[in-house]
Structure 1
Amino acid sequence: MSMPRIDFHGLPAAARQAVTLHTVPVRSVRPAEAGRNSAVAAVLTTASGPVFVKGIPVDHPQAAAQHREVAIAPHLPALAPRLLWHEEVAGWQAARGRPGRRAARLPGAGAQAGGVLTPAVHASNACPSFE
C-alpha cells in the first residue's frame, strides 16, 4: 500500500524531537527517493554519519508492517542495515537505522540477489512468529 509522503519537518514537534534526541546534531535532511510504505522517509546527515529515519501514524493500517520490521530486525544477518532504535510518540512510530541499499527487483536480478538473500532465509529460523 503506497502512501503520500510528508517532509520530515512536517512531523509533529514531539515526534521530530524524539528523533533528533537520538541523532543530534542533524546537519541536513534529504527525503528518501525510493519506497512509499512510510509517510516520512528521510536520510539525516548527522555528526556520526548518515541515518535513515522512517515514520508512520500509529493508527494507519500499514503501521503493523513497521512493527513487524522492528520485531525481526535483531534476527537479520549482518549484511542488513541495523535498526538503531524505534519509538512511538505523538501518534507516530518512528524507526532509525543505518542507510542501506534498496533490493534489486529488475528482471534477471534474482541471480545477483540469490547470494544476498540466502543468509536472510537462514536467519528466519530465529525470527518471531506473526501468526
Structure 2
Amino acid sequence: MHAANQARDRSDWALLFLRISGSLLLLAVHGLPKLLNMQAELTLIEDPLGLGPSVTLCLAIFAEVLCPLLIILGPFTRLATLPILAVLLVSLVLVHPEWSLGEGQFAWLLAILFTTLLIGGPGRIAFGKRLPF
C-alpha cells in the first residue's frame, strides 16, 4: 500500500508541475502580451469566426490569462482547459491551416499539455483540496 501512495503522490506533484509550468508559459508567451498591449492587439488579431476584433480579443484574453490562473489554483482545472483548447483549435484549423507540423509545434504541444490536464485533472495538490502531506 505504501508504494501505491508514493506513486499517487508523485502523480499529484507531476500534475501540479504541469499545471503551473504550462499555465505560466501560456501566460508569458500569449496572455500577458495581449492583456498589456490591448490597443495594438486589436489591430493585429485575426477574427476567423467573424465576432469582431474586440470580442475575439476578449475571448483570447479570457482563455490565455484567466483560464491559466484558474488552472494554477487547481479547483477549476478541467473546465478552464476547454477555452484554451478551443482557442488552440481555432488557431490551428482556421487561422493558420497552412502551418506545417514544425511551424505549429508550440500550439500542438500546448494542446497536448492542456488535454492531459483535461484528462488528468488537477491532482490532489490544489486550492480547496486537502494536501497530501
**TM-score of the pair, normalised by structure 1:** 0.26
Which protein has the bigger helix share?
Answer: 2
**TM-score of the pair, normalised by structure 2:** 0.26
Higher relative contact order (CA 8 A, sep 6+): 2
Higher radius of gyration, 1 or 2? 2
